[in-house]
Structure 1
Amino acid sequence: MDAAQYNAYIEQMRQTEYPMLKDATYLDHAGTTLYSKSLLEAFSADMMSNLYGNPHSASQASQRSTHQVQDVRLQLLRYFDANPDDFDLIFVANATAGIKLVADALREHESGFWYGYHRDAHTSLVGVRELAKEHRCFAEDKDVEEWIRQNGQTMHNRLGLLAYPAQSNMNGRRLPLGWCEKMRSQGVLTLLDAAALLSTSPLSLANLDTAPDFTVLSLYKIFGFPDLGALIVRKDAAWALQKRRYFGGGTVDMVVSLKEQWHAVKSAHLHEQFEDGTLPIHSIIALKSALSTHTDLFGTLNRISEHTSHLAERLYTSLLSLRHGNDEPVCQIYKDPLSTYGDGSTQGPVIAFNLRDARGQWISNLEVEKLAHVRNINIRTGGLCNPGGIQSALHLSPWQMKQNFSSGQRCGSENDDVINGQPTGMIRASLGAMSTLKDVETFISFITEFFLDSKSSPNNRTDSPVLMAEVPIVEQLHIESLTVYPVKSCAGWQIPPDTSWEVRPQGLIWDREWCIIHSGTSAALSQKKYPRMALLRPSLDFAAGLLHITCAVPIKGATCTEITVPLSADPRCFLPSSKTSTPTNVCGDNVSAKIYSDPSISSFLSSILDVPCQLARLPANSTSRHMKPHLRTAGSEKMPLSFSNESPVLCITRMSVNALNKEIKAKGGIATPASTFRANIVISQPLHLPPGTELPHAEDSWSSVSIAKRDTEAEAAEATFDVLGKCRRCHMLCIDQRTAEKRQEPFVTLAKTRRSEGKVWFGVHLALGKGQTRGWLRVGDAVVTS
């Protein structure tokens, strides 16, 4: 069948074989674990029909496992055209485990080993340098060639190993496989990381002279299931591994422990010496089903390579052609000059890029990922586990990377990824066997919708016109509502209108004083990962001295309908170990928390959220957290923070909510309630003002907010807040606070109307003015801004 017919076939197959992709656009196949219905059915049928046992036994069930493992090992070698007389295959947990096995064995040699690795190496290859006596990173292909011509003069008579990827996991560039033969002529061993390549393309080891000495691969990246890796060893190079001193169960024929220490390593087959302990027999047996199912569904890896190469070329040319209205490019694509899309020998189906606005400023990948999440588009962003490639492509000096680390950049974190006007990572779109033209078109439409400014001209700014509007000082403002969120990321509790409420430097009292933490990691849970937290409704009962937590809807399996804890910090309520506090991670900060000991509390929360978790409380007078650095003003550097994300108080205006809802309803959407924005203070204009006189987003220009007395009560004294800055929003806004269901609004509309500097803004952060230790607020209080 031709390319169009094959694409249609894959599109149809996704509906039946890969239902998890039915409504998703998946552009992260380089790191996917997608398994087909047919594969699982075949594996399940095998497991239900046969009894398998530990292969280290002579029983019938054990021998059945042994025979299956032997058969699958042979099938895999033939899958890569590797003659069993010349190669052996060692099963490992993953490609990284295969790399480490080689490195651990080589370092046992008397003089250690010299290690060279290419700039495009995955982090797991880079890590081998820590075990080598000497190491070198080759920045360019020509550096490798020159080193070969010099006969490897830097090894100082040590065993040498060169490692490099067959395909860069960053941008898909394919490196020369001919280096293996050239290195062998110099007496240098080679380690080829084929994990990225084999996800979409074949690798033949038929030519013994050109084959690597060691080839690592990830079987889940080829077949989707099971999670397993393999190390293919050229038998002529096996001597380099046999200095390994450790031995595990199943790798020895005899061991003497008492009076003498002696052992005999198995010698019949190379793999027997390195597969320590009981093999993952069920995973290996699953490979038998994976091999046959994969061939039935997709044909050969050559067919997959042709399909994905065609799609990648289409995606590349489409991204490259995107231009703003002022003809500035939307995408900065990191393609190696030596590679060409459509040429399978030089380029794989991966596109690495960043986005720029019409002024040439970088767009935060964090913002791209948030919008992609809303649209059910799966991509990968960040450092991509390829430090050398990232450093080279983004022109980052070592001192810059260290400075970025000091600024808070971490792998997998949600910190800003544009530091000092320069990106620290990139976006990666990787296509696989299940990709279709529809995925490509959907992604291009997504980039066009949110990041292409068709109206811009060379002299125009591209900020939201609402953000750039000059807003006059608003008069006759008042507090419409006050809300505290006793338990972080759970529902809010609205303060009664006739109640004066105390505010302190760390925020409104009782706000974010509790949090729910994961029982295993102790990290605070968030609605972004656990939307059901919106259904947990805390309420403060001062008469009874209790915090009540109920669930808004019945949850199957819930152990009860409500839990309560004392408002007082009675030490008897907490785990004994919590007397000195328990380390907890909240928004990247390590803080101290006290864990409640009552098992019914943990049981209730765990059943609602479907994750093992516990209720924790911030110890009294805790100063372990402080306001985020980017919001600090002069004199506020040491301002304490409870379990809130960034600042003590979040404020929005009713006028801004109304303006947003007008935009949403104009496109047929449903209005968003103010509770979606989880603000502590909602400020409004008088209701009697004529239509059209509202001033939305006036808060963007505020520098301070003063709360005037509503009456003559002494406790209703004036409070003054400093405006710390606008609030950067994320896709947590897409969780309906009433039902915990996910939706696209209001984040999609905000991204189109309230984006500036590559970020989406709504509301402002506040903190008590300098020198104030407390203040009082009440619904209806007058508000004066400046």
Structure 2
Amino acid sequence: MSGQPPSWTELPVPWRELLSFQYFQRTCPSGASYGYGRGGLREMRESEFRKLGGMIYLDHAGTTLFPHSLLKGFTDDLSENVYGNPHSQHISSKLTYDTIEHVRYRILQHFNTTAEDYTIIFTSGSTAALKLVAETFPWIPEGSMHPSSRFCYLTDSHTSVVGMRGVTAVMNVLSVPVNPKELLLSEKNKVVAKEQNCTTPHLFCYPAQSNFSGTKYPLSWIQEIKSGKLHPIKTPGKWFVLLDAASFVSTSPLDLTVHKPDFIAISFYKIFGFPTGLGALLVHNQIAPSMRKTYFGGGTAAAYLAGEDFFSPRQSVAERFEDGTISFLDIIALKHGFDTLERLTGGMKNIKCHTFALSHYTYTVLSTLKYANGAPIVRIYSDADFSSPDVQGPIINFNVLDENGDIIGYSQVDKLASLYNIHVRTGCFCNTGACQQHLGISNEDVKRNLQAGHVCGDDVDIIDGRPTGSVRISFGYMSTFEDAQTFLKFIIAIRLSESDIKFPSQTITGETMKESVVSPLQNDHTSNNNADKYSLKSIILDTGHWTNSSTVLKTPEANRAVVSESAIPVYRSGSKPITVTNIYLYPIKSCSAYEVSEWPVGNQGLLYDRSWMVVNQNGVCISQKQEPRLCLVHPLIDLEQKMMVIKAEGMDPISVPVEENTGKEIQISQSKVCAHRIQTYDCGQKIAEWFSELLGRQCRLIRQSSDFKRHANQKHEKGQATTGSLSLVNEAQYLLINTASILHLKEQITERLEDPLQTEELIQRFRANIVISATESFEEEEWTEISIGALHFKVVGPCNRCQIICIDPQTGQRNKEFLQTLSSTRGRKTNFGIYLMNQAPCSSLQNNLSVGSQVFPVLKEDTEIQSPLSNEEKHQDSFLGLSSGTCTI
């Protein structure tokens, strides 16, 4: 394969039929329709969403995308009008106030209601709206003179809903989770409740549409619960309903004349894509007078005293609850959002039909795809059959399976999708309840996974052979059939190319995560050859043989390496010695390598390795993921002249001193690398202009300050925290790869490429610091320590590769085949190479790493085995860690 999705003729005939537009049209169900009139969708994509280019954006449930004309209309508005603070009284302030009131009416009109029934309270988003309800609802706490209130919520709810129980707990109000299946069963058996005298207020919250699966829960529940026909729990009192509509209203109309919840929480970026950080709480005017508020901010007071406990709120419900100056310019942007959405689509009913047509088709094809043995390619998590847009939104949640039915981790699918420029969402989507329900994750599993190191939002997708999350795609009003088709071709492509691969049923165990160390694999030469087992207390000689440590050695210090007592040597009788074949450093992060035959080693790794990086105008690091042309920048360091010369084709060379400038004129700033704060200083305007001209965008070159030490917080095998100093690398001080592993991978890739692949080119793609000549492919993954001359390194885990390896270091061109082949060759993960850390701080720069030096690796047979060592033989605490999955670039 060429690394592109399979061409039409390469697909089997049945699958070509499934992916055709004709099949899409034939299977379009009642209640679904594609597009917005003849040519409307195509023209919209060309004029409004040109920025998408070849991108397949399928995360509209996260946020939809804003059209160009919305932004232009808004900026034109701001350019032509002066909007003052709405709390002032001058003309521009009055303009702002009146415009905001107009937007309030526009929102009510959008939901087919009026100011007589509902009030709009602007918030920072649906989360803030939900929190506001929790803080102001007229709860009756436990232990009062009256029956106490209850807060009930559907377990298939967003984190922001479940988090309301933190507020109610402080108020001494009991929270009760309700399973969707139980409530649906209760709905079938509902009876009219007898008249009750109890007026204790209770609150039930549920999502109109699950943000996990797209299931639409009946809006009829609203009236049934309020009238007492449906009971979330058997508790007398008066029930109120809070509808979490954030996911629902992004693609569906909500008619508040038909369904009248007491509270509705929404976020506007879900509907328009812009502005972000703005939402609203719609409050029914009948419940509004009962809402309690303790805090008051600017704009909420009709009058108050600073020296006496006196406060009188404003009469307007909105003004009573909108603390401080609201985000008035963003609110004005909403007017343009409604105007643009109506003009482009004709309204939410059309969006509902269009997005459902795409999701129904994608669901149908995904459900059809099978392996040759009849096993399904995906497992879809849904409570509906996608038969109607009234019960299912445009969200599909799934996991990809192998032929044995084992789940392929979501991070692996996400990584492969990025090669096709397909943007999906992975994890549990801030909805642990639904994730548990559909994936069969128990409460104990969640706690155990947390103890093992897994947290929400990371890429740890499989623990003890079980998934921790899934993949979600979602469609928006500008999504096209080609988006769905390309996604389906991607699924077929990655499974066709790997259909004959049998993956292991387990990738990582909770225990190995907890210890933050990858268990060594046992190759035949370590498990079956008893002759290779030696005393635990041993010393490596430069001959490659072993001797008991009781022997007095008379070899130079540089030619021996002391090995930890619990280590078992990697040794095969008659095997060829392992040597260093190449050494690379990367002075500028993400730029080209500088190959050397010998180089000094410092406390942060190779001297000057990733000491500089290129940042954009906001100070954010630019990597090859965003700018592949960085690989065409060639930095060279002259240690004698103490200069770094930077070259690029078509540009005059430019020099930067390697000695740090500590003058007062240098401005120290803060940046981040892999979410870690670093202290840097700017290298000046001249080099900034050089890079800006080369890349065609504003950027600057910055350097890590020597006054700031960035530490790699890893864990010792006994759980004791240890640290090591890092440069601007992502994970560890060094990255090591094995030539034998490169050659093994080269054989696999060559079969799929049209042009021959050079070994040197493949080595450069993996951006290692140290290349070695071990004889067995991937045997480096068994090592826990290595010694090279007088240098001792600790292995801190494998490097989990990303799409950087798909970039040709000579041209900057991308080819998906490299990561895809690595994925199919290595199973569920894309590990290649190992991370190393200095086992002991380097006291000086006299320690050099040299090509040709012999490499002495060791295995640990049992980390619990301990024997006394002399002070001269003891090593410093070792660094053990598990790669987070980001390549060192």
Describe the SS at the equivalent of 2:737: strand
User: Of residues 542, 553, 558 in structure 1, which corresponds to 2:639?
Assistant: 542
Structure 2 CA distance for partners of 1:284 and 1:328, relative to 1, 3 Å = same
- 1:344 shift after superposition: 1.7
CA drift at 1:726: 5.5
Counterpart in 2 of 1:691?
Answer: none
Gap change, CA 1:250 and 1:430, over 3 Å in 2: same
3-state DSSP class of the match of 1:353? strand
| 2:166 pairs with 1:70 | no
1:698 aligns with 2:765: no
Q: 1:380 to 1:574 in 2, by over 3 A?
A: farther
Q: Are the equivalent residues in 1 in contact too, given 2:749–2:821 (CA < 8 A)?
A: no
How many residues get paired? Answer: 735
Q: Distance in 2 between matches of 1:240 and 1:173?
A: 32
Q: Which residue of 1 aligns with 2:33?
A: 3
Aligned partner of 1:444 in structure 2 is 488
The farther-off stretch of 645-654 and 352-361 is: 645-654
Q: Where do residues 358-757 of structure 1 align in structure 2 (5 Å cutoff)?
A: 358-413=403-458, 415-452=459-496, 455-456=499-500, 475=576, 479-486=580-587, 489-495=590-596, 497=597, 499=598, 501=599, 509-510=606-607, 512=609, 514=611, 527-528=624-625, 534=631, 539-544=636-641, 546=642, 548=644, 550=646, 552=648, 561-566=654-659, 587=674, 595=680, 615-616=703-704, 624-625=711-712, 640=724, 642-643=726-727, 644=729, 645-646=731-732, 648-653=734-739, 655-656=743-744, 658-659=746-747, 662-663=750-751, 665-666=753-754, 672-683=761-772, 698-700=777-779, 717=789, 727-737=799-809, 741=812, 743-745=814-816, 747-751=818-822, 753-756=824-827
Shift of 1:76: 1.6
- Equivalent in the alignment of 1:115: 151
Deviation of residue 266 (structure 1)? 1.6
Q: 1:459 to 1:100 in 2, by over 3 A?
A: closer
Alpha-carbon distance in structure 2 between the residues aligned to 1:639 and 1:88: 55
Residue 247 (structure 2) aligned to one of 196, 199, 212: 196
Match of 2:132, SS state, is helix
Which of residues 176, 195, 219 is equivalent to 1:136?
Answer: 176
| Residues 252 and 318 of structure 1: CA distance in aligned 2, closer, same or farther (over 3 Å) | same
The one of 87, 94, 115 aligned to 1:84 = 115
2:454–2:460: 8 Å Cα contact kept in structure 1?
Answer: yes
Cα deviation 1:727-749 (Å, max 9, x = unaligned): 4311122345466x562345344
The secondary structure found in structure 2 opposite 1:566 is coil
Amino acid at match of 1:135: S
Judging changes above 3 Å, is the alpha-carbon distance between structure 1 residues 100 and 344 closer, same or farther for their aligned structure 2 residues? same
C-alpha distance 178-71 of structure 1, shift in aligned 2 (>3 A): same
Taking the aligned partners of 1:355 and 1:274, their CA distance within structure 2 comes to: 46
- Corresponding residue SS for 1:732: helix
Distance 2:79 2:350 in 1: 33
**Does the 8 Å contact 1:507/1:649 carry over to 2?**
no
Q: In 2, Cα distance between the equivalents of 1:293 and 1:522?
A: 33
Amino acid at match of 2:269: Y
Q: Tell me how far 1:486 sits from its aligned partner.
A: 4.7
Look up the equivalent residue of 2:800 and give its one-letter code. Answer: R
Partner of residue 256, structure 2: 205
**C-alpha contact 2:152 2:204 (8 A) present in aligned 1:** yes
Match of 1:759 in 2: 829
CA distance in 2, matches of 1:119, 1:516: 46
- Assess if the C-alpha contact under 8 Å between 1:125 and 1:163 holds in 2: yes
Which residue is 2:214 aligned to? 172
Distance 1:361 1:647 in 2: 35
- Could you tell me which of 374, 391, 407 is aligned with 1:327? 374
Q: Name the CA distance, whole Å, in 1 between partners of 2:305 and 2:722.
A: 63
Give the TM-score of the pair, scaled to structure 2.
0.71
How far residue 430 of structure 1 moved from its aligned partner, in angstroms, is 0.6
**TM-score, normalization: structure 1?**
0.79
Shift of 1:328: 1.9
SS class of match (1:698): coil
* Structure 1 residues 113 and 571: alpha-carbon distance in aligned structure 2, compared to 1, 3 A threshold: farther
SS at match of 1:344: coil
Using a 3 Å threshold, how does the CA distance of structure 1 residues 46 and 781 change in structure 2: closer, same or farther?
closer
| Cα deviation, residue 238, structure 1 | 0.6
Q: What are the Cα deviations for residues 542-578 of structure 1, in whole angstroms up to 9, with x where unaligned?
A: 324x4637474799xx9x95443437xx998999999
Q: 1:271 aligns with which of 318, 323, 335?
A: 318
Secondary structure at the counterpart of residue 195 of structure 1: coil
- Alpha-carbon distance, 1:28 to partner: 0.7
Shift of 1:52: 3.0
1:300 alignment partner, one of 344, 347, 358: 347
Question: How far apart are the structure 2 equivalents of 1:409 and 1:705?
Answer: 23
- Determine which of 64, 67, 77 is the counterpart of 1:46: 77
Q: Distance in 2 between matches of 1:218 and 1:635?
A: 43
In the alignment, is the contact (CA less than 8 A) between 2:734 and 2:770 conserved in 1?
Answer: no
CA distance in 1, matches of 2:714, 2:686: 30
Unaligned regions of 5+ residues in structure 2, if any?
1-24, 26-31, 143-147, 228-236, 508-520, 526-571, 859-889
Tell me the secondary structure at the aligned position of residue 188 of structure 1: strand
Distance 1:97 1:530, change over 3 A: farther
* 8 A contact 1:651–1:764 mirrored in 2: yes
- Over 3 Å counting, the alpha-carbon distance change for 1:283 and 1:551 in structure 2 is farther
Q: What whole-Å deviation, never above 9, does each CA across 1:159-209 have from its counterpart, x for those lacking one?
A: 3211111000011001122222233235122110111111111111113xx
Given that 1:479 and 1:783 are in contact with CA atoms closer than 8 Å, whether structure 2 keeps it comes out as: yes
Aligned AA for 1:698?
S
Q: Per the alignment, do residues 116 and 551 of structure 1 end up closer, same or farther by CA in structure 2, a change over 3 Å counting? A: farther
Q: Is the 8 A contact 2:588 2:614 kept in 1?
A: no
**1:281 Cα shift?**
2.8
Comparing 158-167 with 276-285, greater Cα deviation is found at: 276-285
**Is the 2:684–2:701 contact (alpha carbons within 8 Å) kept by the matching residues of 1?**
no
Contact 2:406 2:505 in 1 (8 A): no
Q: 54-63 or 24-33: which moved more? A: 54-63
Mean Cα deviation higher: 172-181 or 769-778: 769-778
Stretch deviating more after TM superposition (472-481 or 69-78): 472-481
C-alpha distance in 2 between matches for 1:134 and 1:601: 64
Query: Measured at CA, do residues 408 and 523 of structure 1 come closer, stay the same or move farther in structure 2, by a change above 3 Å?
Result: farther
Q: Does 1:126 align with 2:162?
A: yes
- Deviation of 1:218 after TM superposition, in Å, equals 1.8
Q: Is the 8 A contact 2:732 2:836 kept in 1?
A: no
2:303 matched to which residue of 1?
254
The structural deviation recorded for 1:509 is 3.7
Deviation at 1:291, TM superposition (A): 1.6
Gap change, CA 1:275 and 1:718, over 3 Å in 2 = closer
Q: How far apart in 2 are the matches of 1:456 and 1:742?
A: 29
- C-alpha distance in structure 2 between counterparts of 1:38 and 1:457, whole Å: 48
Residue 476 of structure 1, CA deviation: 8.3
Amino acid at match of 2:304: V
| 8 Å Cα contact 1:718-1:775 kept in structure 2 | yes
Shift of 1:127: 1.0
Please state whether the residue corresponding to 1:236 is helix, strand or coil: coil
Shift of 1:519: 12
Query: Are residues 289 and 520 of structure 1, via their aligned partners in 2, closer, same or farther at CA, if it must alter by over 3 Å?
Result: closer
Deviations 1:76-99 (A, max 9, x none): 212211132111112222111211
What letter corresponds to residue 543 of structure 1 in structure 2?
E
